[in-house]
């Protein structure tokens, strides 16, 4: 395995979740590994993404549960959130993750180079300080960044990353976007004290999720106080005496707000790292084009995670990196990640999770062979408190044996419930097999096996 011609067997550009998992797996298989990361270890997920987002989501969830507790008879005095104290706990948790990464790097013998790297050829990287290092294999794991729209005054607004710099909830907030980040921010800020206006260019939320569940989520958000504006095209952002105002395609101003967040998507960090000069193909959305085995067009050069533009989820980047290392260093020449049926969750209030095909996708692929089952209900706690929030669970099945091709769950606990059913879907579970399972009562999860 050791190649004396090069300094290392593997260089990883990027110390996010995917890059770190790649480095650790390679080192565990005996490779000499170095990872280049100029910023904080853990990348977007740990520092300005999944981890701090979930911490804020948990705080927002507690706000809702305190209200439910009052509604069913608990005498709870009014309380306010100390946002700085919450942030201190959040950042302390993240600091512990950083520490565990550093200890693991040391234990596994992975060299951390705190520099930005630029490729000179398929095996040589020049660090920001001019030092050059080489390896037999190089993995691009540089992640992605949040976009700003090309409109007048865009610089007056914030992007989703900036949410984690807040020290309090702005009284009035506008969020531009209809994807999972926009939806998550809307729920968080509304629960934590902001009055939220959500401006969506399309006619529905969450284009990649089942439309029926997206409609129910929109209704739940309205009950929580979020104001939704569909079919909205922002053309300018301007500051006046009363605050910031968005302007639509007709030039009409929105209500004034204190802060605007743009959550309109992310773009891979593929520029200025030497890829084009090497002949690496870049896609229309700046993604590094790779095959099913994470290979670029240049032998010895690979890409994983957000920069590869396949499925932009942290566990996907981790899994792809590990499979790639199994192939390169673990004597598993056919190892690769299966990108079909990847489960995902939007941490809305309540959370929305899915794995497999939505109803529209299934009907487009299988036509009349599709059968759909659904359960629309109020979870027990919300029913006890006479809260209007509803859950919607849905199965999408195909064929005479009704093989399940899609699980779609909107409701309390959906994020935890989905994992097990995602395994069942990968194993080819049928509707009859779900029916044969004994329900756990009373739970929301039992609805999945009781649908008729």
Instruction: Report, as residue numbers or ranges, the catalytic residues.
Output: 441
- 180 and 346 Cβ atoms separated by less than 8 Å: yes
Rounded CA separation 289/13 (Å):
16
Cα 363 to Cα 361: distance, rounded to the nearest angstrom: 6
Q: Are the CB atoms for 188 and 57 separated by under 8 Å?
A: yes
The rounded distance, in Å, linking the Cα atoms of 10 and 320 is 16
Tell me 65's DSSP state: H
CA angle 15, 50, 147 (to 5 degrees): 80
Task: State the DSSP code for 210.
Answer: -
Residue 223: how many other CB atoms lie within 10 Å: 11
- Host H or E run for residue 135: strand 132-140
The closest alpha carbon to 431, from 451, 408, 409, 411, belongs to: 451
- As to burial, measured by CB atoms within 10 angstroms (0-12 exposed, 13-18 middle, 19+ buried), residue 162 is middle
Length of the chain, in residues: 452
In angstroms, the CA 275 to CA 288 distance is 9
φ, ψ for residue 34, nearest 5 deg:
-130, 145
Please give the torsion angle defined by the CA atoms of residues 380, 385, 386 and 390, in that order, rounded to the nearest 10 degrees. Answer: -40
Enumerate the β-bridge partners of residue 395.
373, 407
312-319 — which CB contacts under 8 Å span 24+ positions? 312/144, 312/266, 313/342, 313/344, 314/17, 314/18, 314/45, 314/49, 314/50, 316/342, 317/16, 317/17, 317/18, 317/21, 317/141, 318/17, 318/18, 318/21
The answer to whether residues 152 and 238 touch, using CB atoms and an 8 Å cutoff, is yes
**Cβ 123 vs Cβ 6: under 8 Å:** yes
The DSSP code sequence of 26-61 is: HHHTT--EEEE-SS-TBHHHHHHSHHHHHHHHHHHH
């Amino acid at each position: 395995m050791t190649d004396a011609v090069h300094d290392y067997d593997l260089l990883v550009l990027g110390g996010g979740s995917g890059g770190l998992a790649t480095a650790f797996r390679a080192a565990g298989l005996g490779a000499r590994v170095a990872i280049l990361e100029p910023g904080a270890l853990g990348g977007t997920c740990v520092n300005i993404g999944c981890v701090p987002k979930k911490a804020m989501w948990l705080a927002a969830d507690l706000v809702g549960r305190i209200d439910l507790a009052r509604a069913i008879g608990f005498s709870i005095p009014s309380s306010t959130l100390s946002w700085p104290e919450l942030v201190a706990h959040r950042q302390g948790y993240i600091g512990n993750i950083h520490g565990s990464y550093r200890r693991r790097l040391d234990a596994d013998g992975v060299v951390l180079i705190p520099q930005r790297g630029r490729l000179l050829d398929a095996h040589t990287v020049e660090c920001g300080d001019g030092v050059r290092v080489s390896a037999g294999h190089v993995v691009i794991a540089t992640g992605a960044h949040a976009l700003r729209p090309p409109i007048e005054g865009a610089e007056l607004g914030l992007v989703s990353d900036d949410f984690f710099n807040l020290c309090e909830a702005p009284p009035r907030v506008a969020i531009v976007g209809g994807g999972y980040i926009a939806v998550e921010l809307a729920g968080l800020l509304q629960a934590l004290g902001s009055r939220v206006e959500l401006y969506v260019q399309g006619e529905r939320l969450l284009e990649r999720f089942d439309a029926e569940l997206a409609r129910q989520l929109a209704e739940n958000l309205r009950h929580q106080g979020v104001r939704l504006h569909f079919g909205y095209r922002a053309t300018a952002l301007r500051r006046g005496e009363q605050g910031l105002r968005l302007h639509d395609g007709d030039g009409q101003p929105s209500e004034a707000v204190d802060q605007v967040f743009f959550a309109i998507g992310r773009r891979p960090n593929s520029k200025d790292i030497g890829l084009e000069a090497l002949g690496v193909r870049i896609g229309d959305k700046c993604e590094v084009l790779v095959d099913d085995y994470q290979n670029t067009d240049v032998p010895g050069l690979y890409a994983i995670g957000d920069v590869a533009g396949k499925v932009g989820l942290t566990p996907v980047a981790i899994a792809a990196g590990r499979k790639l290392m199994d192939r390169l260093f673990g004597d598993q020449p056919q190892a690769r990640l299966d990108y079909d049926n990847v489960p995902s969750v939007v941490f809305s209030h309540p959370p929305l999770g899915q794995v497999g095909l939505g109803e529209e996708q299934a009907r487009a692929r299988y036509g009349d062979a599709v059968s759909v089952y659904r359960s629309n209900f109020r979870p027990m706690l919300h029913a006890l408190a006479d809260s209007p929030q509803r859950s919607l669970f849905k199965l999408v099945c195909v064929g005479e044996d009704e093989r399940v091709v899609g699980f779609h769950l909107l409701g309390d606990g959906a994020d935890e419930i989905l994992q097990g059913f995602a395994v069942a879907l990968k194993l080819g579970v049928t509707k009859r097999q779900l029916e044969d399972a004994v329900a756990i009562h009373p739970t929301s999860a039992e609805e999945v096996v009781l649908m008729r």
